[in-house]
Amino acid sequence: MSQKPRIQISPSILAADFVNMASELASIESAELVHVDVMDGHFVPNLTIGPPVVKAIKGAARSPLDVHLMIESPETYLEAYIDAGADILGVHAEACSHLHGTLGEIRKIGERRERTVRSCAVLNPSTPAAAVEYCLEEADQILVMTVNPGFGGQSFIDAMLPKIETIRGWIEKRGLAIDLEVDGGVTLDNIARAASAGANVFVAGTAVFGQADRKLAIEQLREKGEKAF
Ligand code: DX5
Ligand code: ZN
């Protein structure tokens, strides 16, 4: 059996105040990761930020950047986001014709830069777990979307829980050190369900930035996740 994975909270800055990003980032310094949502207006209907803004965020963030690419042809932009400061780089299975190769390429670019860059495969709600079954060895993290990506503040889709259980089962069976992340609608009310299904990394936008005391919000989420995992 693999070692018990660490519970990590990854606040999504999509819900932060972009004008005051430096102080917003300072308010979440107790979080293990900083989740950065990149949207291209094609893969998802919303448009957010590109590499120069990711680079600025990297300069001000205290924790590693968990960059979530919701873009078409992500393979074209791997170097740009890694050079901008991504420590974890997530690509959607639905956007990659060669997911296995793209995940491997993320690690290789990191090696060429003499940095550790962790590869992450992301699944939309309608994509079955099987889409990553044959790429697990190339992935450092799997992200199960618990909303249809594009916007913050949506409701958690409970029907994703069996998918999380299936993927955690494969990770355990093969003894892999893969983190299993959930993203979308995570709150104090549902984090325990996601954790007991096997998730150990939790993206939270509204649930963190919607609270005045971010440190407390992060602590409460982590505590509930730890108890249920
Ligand atoms: C959705 C994004 C999420 C979003 C999460 O497309 O990938 O990361 O910011 O926000 P909440 O936690 O508010 O659902
Ligand atoms: Zn995200």
Name the domain count of the chain: 1
3 located within any domain: no
Q: Would you place residue 4 in the very low, low, confident or very high pLDDT band (cuts 50, 70, 90)?
A: confident
98-130: per-residue pLDDT in tens?
999 999 999 999 999 999 999 999 999 999 999
Q: Would you place residue 3 in the very low, low, confident or very high pLDDT band (cuts 50, 70, 90)?
A: low
Give catalytic status of residue 179 as yes or no. no
Assign residue 85 the CATH number of its domain.
Answer: 3.20.20.70
Q: How far apart are CA 188 and CA 221, in angstroms?
A: 6
64 located within any domain: yes
14 located within any domain: yes
CB 21 within 8 A of CB 51: no
1 located within any domain: no
How far is CA 59 from each of CA 52, 62, 106, 173, 209, rounded to the nearest angstrom?
11, 8, 21, 39, 20
Ligand 1 binding pocket, CB closer than 6 Å: 12, 14-15, 35, 37, 68, 147, 149-154, 183-186, 203-207
Confidence check: pLDDT of 26 > 60: yes
2 located within any domain: no
Give catalytic status of residue 17 as yes or no. no
Q: Coil, strand or helix: which one is 64?
A: coil
CB 199 within 8 A of CB 221: no
For residue 205, the ligand 1 atom closest to its alpha carbon is 12
Q: What is the DSSP string of 88-114?
A: EEEEEGGG-TTHHHHHHHHHHHHHHTT
Distance 70 CA to ligand 2 centre (A): 8
CB 139 within 8 A of CB 91: no
Instruction: State mean pLDDT over 134-151.
Output: 98
CB 79 within 8 A of CB 58: no
- Residue type for position 181: E
Domain holding 165, by residue range, is: 8-228
What the block records as the tokens of 184 is: 């979308």
Burial label, 81 (beta-carbon count in 10 A; 0-12, 13-18, 19+): buried
Q: How far apart are CA 91 and CA 72, in angstroms?
A: 9
Specify the pLDDT at position 5: 86
138 located within any domain: yes
Indicate the top mutation candidate among 38, 124, 191, 203 to test ligand 1's pocket, ranked by most ligand atoms within 8 A of CB. 203
Distance 172 CA to ligand 2 centre (A): 25
Distance 14 CA to ligand 1 centre (A): 7
